Amino acid sequence: MLQVTRKDDKESLENLIRRFNKKVQQSGVLGIARRGKYFEKPLTKRAQREIAIRKSARKAAKAKAYLGR
């Protein structure tokens, strides 16, 4: 649970909200909540490996196209 308190009595509400939003972004809580929104079946090792191979091939092709300019 994230908690943000006012630094002093003179701190504005906008500044407090800005600090809170920054902490939420840095902690990654929002991303975890979004990923947990829908259930996905765990992938088999073979499927994970195939996805990784496709990703690396796509990344290599992108790098080659970029360097070829």
Is residue 34 in a domain? yes
Is residue 20 in a domain? yes
Q: Is residue 50 over pLDDT 90?
A: yes
Query: What residue numbers bound the domain in which 18 lies?
Result: 13-67
Is residue 47 in a domain? yes
Is residue 3 in a domain? no
Q: pLDDT higher for 58 or 69? A: 58
Average pLDDT over residues 59-69: 88
- What pTM was computed for the model? 0.51
Is residue 24 in a domain? yes
Average pLDDT over residues 32-40: 89
Compute the C-alpha angle 19/6/12, nearest 5°.
75
Is residue 36 in a domain? yes
Is residue 50 in a domain? yes
Is residue 62 in a domain? yes
Number of structural domains in the chain? 1
